Each structure stands twice: as C-alpha cells, then as structure tokens.
Structure 1
Amino acid sequence: MSTSFVPFEFSRGEAVGGLLWLSVGALLSLVLEVVYLGAYITLPSGMRIAFPITILIAWWFSKVLTKTARLWTPNPLIAAIPLIVWVLGFFAFLVIGSTTGDQWLGSNIRTVALLFAGIIGGVWPFVVSK
C-alpha cells in the first residue's frame, strides 16, 4: 500500500489560524533561544566553555516554520510571516533591553550569529527548492 501526500482543501480562517500558531511558535522559540544563548558547559576539569546551541536551533526551527507556512499559502510574503515575527521579536528584545536597562542580548558575536542563523533558516525554504 502506497502512502502519498493527498492535498486537502482548507478555509481562509484555517490558514490564518495556522499562520498565527506558527507565529506564536516563532516567538516562543525566540524566547528560549535568547534565554539559552549564553549557556556554558562545565567540563570535568572545572573549565567552562560556551555552548550556544540555540544558534543552530534558530536556523533549523526558522526553516521548519517557513516550510510549514508555505504549506498554508503560495504567497511568499504571507509565508514569511513567522520569520518576520521572529525578526521583529529579536529587535524588540534589543529595544526593550536598551530602554529598561536589562540586557537580554549580549553585545557579542553570539547575538549576531543568532540573528543571522534565524534569518538564513527562515529564508532557506524560499531559495532552495526540492
């Protein structure tokens, strides 16, 4: 028995709901990525090394969100909504941090790498097609 993808019809409301949940997922992902961006691993010798695994997670999860959004709409701008929400959230962390005095994102290469990883991951499904 062969299992193949069967296209299905969905309403505009279902598409909007799907994109809304993908956007919520993008924001939740961003919060976790920012919180754990400064993670360290302590070696048995007591030495600590930076372990910014969230940079890879940002790339991968942004890619997943965009690929999923493309299932809901053929319009690339609409399919980019979760990526746009992620980027706006990233800059909101920067602005909120500078206005309140709290530093959510450090002034280091890991912050820049997180931004680029999230953007590249989100754009990847538009550039590379199977």
Structure 2
Amino acid sequence: MGRSSSRAVIRTDFSRGEQVTAYGWLCLGAAMSALLCLVYLDAHIGSVAVPYPIVLAFLFNLVLTRTALLWTGRVWLALIPVACWVLVLLGLGLGVEMLSSVLTANKIRALALVLSGLIGGLVPALRS
C-alpha cells in the first residue's frame, strides 16, 4: 500500500472567467459580512454590550484574503474583497439611516470594527 501525501494541492489551471466568478463570490460574501457586522455591532447579552462582530470581521477578512490569494499572485487583486467589505460597510453605515445610527451611537466600536476588518484583510496580503 502506498502512503498518501498530506500536502495540499493548489490548482492553478483556471480560466479568467473562473477567476472573475470567484472574486464575484468573494465580494458578495464580503458585502454580506459587512451588513451582518454592522447590524450586530450593537449586540447585547442582558445589559452588557458584546461586540463580537469586531472579532468576526477580523477572522472573516483574514479568510477572504487568504482565499483571494489562491486565485492570484498579485496582492492588490487579493485585496479587492476587503475593499468591497470596507466600501459596503461605510456605504451602509453612512447611507442607510437605520444603520447610520449604529455607527454614530457606537463610534469606538465602529472604529474598532473597521480597523479589525482592515487588519484582518491586510495581514495575509503582507505575509505573501
């Protein structure tokens, strides 16, 4: 019996269409993540504020950038989903009246959310 290798095999023979579709899905996921992070930024358990979307934004954008780096070797292309996340977050936070109250009422948490999302997205890009 042969031994199976535990090394990951990364496929690199994809078409431009597959790459564009992958980035479309990554940007859609980033947009949904931004919406959910903004909606749940003011989460409370009882009377205690629990801003768990700050941690989730870091982790999710970390995964987004790592996944984007699988599709390209160019760092600036891998940052497209993170840029989408930031633009959707700021667009919703500043443009939608119902969600803008979340940003204005929780300025420190909102700043922490944006920074954690940016840092989570930039860490894999800077390491590559």
Q: Same fold (TM over 0.5)?
A: yes
Partner of 1:102: 98
Change (3 A) 1:4 1:59: same
% same residue: 40
1:71, distance to aligned residue in structure 2 (A):
0.3
1:72 is displaced (CA, Å) by 0.3
Residue 75 of structure 2 corresponds to residue 72 of structure 1: no
Q: Which amino acid aligns with 1:72?
A: W
CA shift for structure 1 position 126: 1.5
Contact 2:38 2:99 in 1 (8 A): no
DSSP-derived class of the 1:55 partner: helix
Matched letter for residue 67 of structure 1: R
Q: Distance in 2 between matches of 1:96 and 1:65?
A: 25
Higher normalized helix content (fraction of residues): 2
Gapped runs of 5+ residues in structure 2?
none
Question: Please, what is the CA RMSD of the aligned residues?
Answer: 1.3
8 Å Cα contact 2:42-2:51 kept in structure 1? yes
Using structure 1 for the length normalisation, give the TM-score.
Answer: 0.86
Superposed, 1:75-86 pairs within 5 Å as: 75-86=74-85
The answer for the alignment partner of 2:21 in structure 1 is: 17
Contact 2:26 2:81 in 1 (8 A): yes
**Residue 5 of structure 1: CA displacement?**
1.9
Unaligned runs of at least 5 residues, structure 1: 43-47
